[in-house]
Every structure is written in C-alpha cells, then in structure tokens.
Amino acid sequence: MAISRRHIPYYKEVLSLPGFLRDPVLVLGVHKISTSPRLGKSAYGPLRHARPLWKNLCHRVDAVRGAAHPDLVIPAEYEVPDLETLLRNRGIRDLETLDLFDRRATLKFDLNSQVSEQLHDRFKTLIDIGCIEHVFDTKQCIENCMRMLATGGHYFLHTCVNGYYAHGLHVFNPEALLAALELNGFEVVLERYSTRSGGPVTEPKKSGDVLIWLVARKTRRVGHFHIPQQGMWQTRYEPAANQKTR
C-alpha cells in the first residue's frame, strides 16, 4: 500500500492535530510514500526531466477545478520512503505494524478474529489507511481497533465510502462508521471526504470514487461493543409506531 502525493495534504492535517501522534503507535499495513511521479528509463529522452513539471502543472489545474487539494506544498519531511520513517522522524520510538501477509510487518494477525487481550488498551495512536475495506468481518475489525487503542488515544480511519468497484470487499456508508465510533465512546475530531485524486468533496454520494478521512479520540474503555443501526429505518417506521400507541 502506498501514500499518494495528492493525499499528503490530508496527512499533514491529521498529523498536526493536537495530541494525535503519541507512543506507542500501531499502523495497519506497511505504507510507502510516493511524492513524485514515476519516470520511465529512457523512453522520453530529454523530456523525462520535464515530466515532473508537467505533472505539477496538471495538479495545479486540477486544484483550480476542484479535482485536487488546493494545498500543493509537500514538506521535505515527506520525502522519505515510507510512513514508518516519517513517524520515527517525528519522534515516535515505539511503533508496530500489523499485517497478516506482509513479511515486513512486526505483528501477524487476522483482524477477522478477536484480538488478544494482551493488546487491549495498548496503543495511543492507531492508523488504518485503507485496511478495513479488505477485511470481511468489518464489525470485528473495527472492534479490534477500538479495543487496542488506549483511552485518550486517537484512531485514524481512512477508507472508501463511494465507488471503488472491486477495490476491496466493502464500501462503507459513513453513517455506519460514525455511529460505531459514537456508540462505543469515541469523539470525532476530524471528518473529511476526498476524491481518489485528492479533491475535497462536500457531497460524497454524488462524486464517484470517494474516500473518508476520520480521526476520533477514545473517551472511555470499550466494554460491551454496541452495534449501530441504520437511522433511516427508525425514521421511516417511528411515525407509524407513534400513531399506534395513541
């Protein structure tokens, strides 16, 4: 998995949140950082050196028409190979990566299963960049993440909420994620939506491939896990139920 240069403005905002990044940190997956377009070997000849300038020009045009984030500045600290390096350069010393298949991960675990109690309340920051949509049992996955996070810690969740055909096993209704967080003792401190190319989105249901960027702070220990219900059904049937009781 990789962090795209067009998404870096969102990571800048998340990492600047007060108290967000604290030891120990858990990252789901191992993530490369891509800050520049890939260039072919010799196919473009002298034009190879002009490609980054062309890409930047295209990005600026996209930003003007809303297809890319208007913040085009990529700080030097992001010119590193991966997220782990970036976090360690920011002072993180206790960092774990969790992935069932990637050999580089420090923890091997299937998030479809209940996480060991030894990992409950263990981490102060938990980062899920596009993991949950690839896990079949999303209820168990999000519950595991909530339980592994310590009270007062922050949970960063980034996933698909529209489009993305066959990208993962799921595309989420934002209501489900937000309700699950609220019901289980989390306070949302950041909520953003973007296109695949990083353009800010105000109406996710009308914009094709859409990503959600969520950061929530854990306010209490998770006891019984509360499962959200879709609010539209309660709204639809509540008037009829009220009429019958009169």
The single-letter DSSP state of residue 169 is S
- Name the burial class of residue 56, with classes exposed (0-12), middle (13-18) and buried (19+) by CB atoms within 10 angstroms of its CB: middle
Q: Is the model's pLDDT at 51 over the cut of 80? A: no
Per DSSP (E only), the strands in the chain are 2-4, 25-28, 32-34, 95-98, 123-129, 149-162, 186-195, 210-218
Distances (CA, A) of 153 to 9, 74, 120, 147, 148: 22, 27, 12, 11, 10
Start-to-end CA span in the chain (Å): 56
pTM above 0.75, yes or no: yes
Token pair 């989105």 is found at 201
Q: Is the model's pLDDT at 243 over the cut of 70? A: no
Give the model confidence (pLDDT) of 116-167 as tens digits. Answer: 999 999 999 999 999 999 999 999 999 999 999 999 999 999 999 999 999 9
pLDDT at 43: 43
The token duo for 246 is 């009169």
More confident residue, 86 or 245: 86
Q: Which domains, ranges and CATH numbers included, belong to the chain?
A: 2-35+74-245 (3.40.50.150)
DSSP sequence for 21-89: S-SSEEEES--EEE-S----SSTTGGGGGGHHHHHHHHHHHHHHTTSS-S-----GGG-SSBHHHHHHH
Q: CA nearest 141: which of 161, 118, 170? A: 170
The token duo for 62 is 């996209």
Give the model confidence (pLDDT) of 160-172 as tens digits. Answer: 999 999 999 999 9
